[in-house]
Homo-oligomer: A and B are copies of this chain.
Amino acid sequence: MIKGSRMRKLLIAAICATVATPVLADSHEGVLKARQGYMQLVWQNFGPLTKMAKGEMDYDADQAALHADNLDALASMNISAQFPEGTDKESLPGETRALPVIWTDMGGFSEKFQNFADAVQNLRAEASEGLEALQAAVGQTGNSCGGCHDDYRAKEF
């Protein structure tokens, strides 16, 4: 039988062997890549829903549900690790549109994110309930995006 401490060492060795640390892990480049990737993932799923809502793409209940489920997964995340101190537009000019006010008004920022999460939960419920239900829920979700971007995101990098 392997003793506890030896088992522990073996476990840690196994973890070290299987989990290689990417270069970007703790850098601000890594933070921005994750944060901007998150936004891109939101758009990758919200985009087709807006196209269906606008009539630029045929309404498909299954596809709508798939994208709404993905959005709900993203909106359910705790995004605090995406916004460490020192990753605002003034600290990193040209690299991010995140305004410094995010960090001085984290309560307001969190409330806006919660509005988005709530709108997406409704979107998930409505997405496969027909085009008109989708349109209303997409409009509401779009407003929740804008409600945060207006105050906390600059127009330019």
Q: Contact check, A145 vs B19: say whether CB atoms are below 8 A apart.
A: yes
**Of A43-51, A88-96, A104-112, A122-130, the one touching chain B:** A43-51
A45, closest chain B residue (CB): B81
Q: Contact check, A50 vs B139: say whether CB atoms are below 8 A apart.
A: no
> In the complex, what residues of B have CB within 8 A of residue A16's CB?
54
DSSP class of A's interface residues: helix, strand, loop or mixed? helix
> In the complex, what residues of B have CB within 8 A of residue A40's CB?
22, 24, 30, 33-34, 37
Say whether A53 faces chain B, with CB atoms less than 8 Å apart: yes
- Shortest CB–CB separation between residue A131 and chain B, in angstroms? 9
> Which parts of A23-77 form the interface with B (CB within 8 Å)?
24-26, 30-31, 33-34, 36-38, 40-41, 43-48, 50, 53-55, 66-67, 69-70, 73-74, 76-77
